[in-house]
Structure 1
């Protein structure tokens, strides 16, 4: 077996492990409609996926002051939409294989703690992640606080850790932490946008991630 280039592998959640982009777009547009706000386009919403909700709202709804009302409405819609959201094909095998190979695994996501804990339980993947950080624990991406916290938790140097994500916000966060990254082109942002952040690699399906670790 080849030597591991990295000890710690940190994953984003939405659009990287779970196919949630369509659900996020739909919920955000329904919220705008309910509150009689200008409805953002799919591309506008895709552009901000990965950021925390408090950071997203001033971008999508700049002319509306009560951002907390939008956040509350969004969370209500998201919870009410009980349609199961699938993991991307290959994700479960990838996580199980990396765990078995001895990698330390973590999550760094813009989701809130309640939402993250729920999907970790529903998917059964929670048992494989040794630590998680979310928007309730630290500053929003692209600030590197989540990654710094995980490096400290595992006592791992930045050059021995790698961030996996589907958005420029994930990759910018990794760059800000002095950490390598891998972009996935099947989520919120396409290959051309991800390339601008100089990731170690860009992959078009989850199982290919293991090749770069």
Structure 2
């Protein structure tokens, strides 16, 4: 069967990398460091995938903007102190290698910083696996479509032949804004209900289901 997609773009945190709890705990700890009330798990997990400044504004809405750099510094301190303990979801390496063997272009579009993504890729020995990557600090953050549009231009891929895969409504809104189809996964940050509103091609509850669909339909 002919391939449906030339370019497959993955979100990182909560989609390939099992970092949801680390992000939430780091945000809560950063708030406490500054003498603030820690955001709830629900509020902190909602911002996963957003750029850091937008995420902090949502998670701690009462914090004056002039304190964002301080809060961001404490967040990064806690995140990088424990990032080595986090790894890929089970089955992710095999899934990505099977897609590479079919000659799809693979990319990452993430709300992480360039430093954060590069360190994460190195930690899981994937610095050469992806054909392209975009981070929130080098382009516009989600759900602005810029990072996806840039990846499509880089590979000459049409929106209809580009697939976005993510675990948050920000990822699915990013795909919609760029005119691309999307797949939602529910094992990351956002729950099933809000993801369904974006009418994804698939809602995958585990990596095995995602891999099976991609090998059969992508």
User: TM-score, normalising length from structure 2?
Assistant: 0.94
> Secondary structure at the residue paired with 2:147?
helix
Find the counterpart in structure 2 of residue 105 from structure 1.
Answer: 106
Q: Distance in 2 between matches of 1:24 and 1:115?
A: 12
> Secondary structure at the residue paired with 1:70?
helix
Deviation at residue 83 of structure 1 after TM alignment: 4.3
Q: Distance in 2 between matches of 1:59 and 1:105?
A: 31
Q: Distance in 1 between matches of 2:3 and 2:160?
A: 12
Find the counterpart in structure 1 of residue 20 from structure 2.
Answer: 21
Q: Distance in 1 between matches of 2:100 and 2:85?
A: 25
Find the counterpart in structure 2 of residue 197 from structure 1.
Answer: 198
> Secondary structure at the residue paired with 2:128?
helix
Find the counterpart in structure 1 of residue 124 from structure 2.
Answer: 123
Find the counterpart in structure 2 of residue 42 from structure 1.
Answer: 41
Q: Distance in 2 between matches of 1:51 and 1:82?
A: 18
Partners of 1:139 and 1:146 within 8 A in 2: yes
Partners of 1:181 and 1:200 within 8 A in 2: yes
1:4–1:46 CA distance, 2 compared to 1 (3 A): same
User: TM-score, normalising length from structure 1?
Assistant: 0.96
Give ranges in structure 2 of 5+ residues lacking alignment. none
Equivalent residues in 2 for 1:1-213, closer than 5 Å? 2-65=1-64, 66-209=67-210, 210=214, 211-213=216-218
Q: Distance in 2 between matches of 1:11 and 1:82?
A: 20
Deviation at residue 38 of structure 1 after TM alignment: 1.5
> Secondary structure at the residue paired with 2:127?
helix
Q: Which moved more, 1:111-120 or 1:77-86?
A: 77-86
Q: Distance in 2 between matches of 1:182 and 1:198?
A: 9
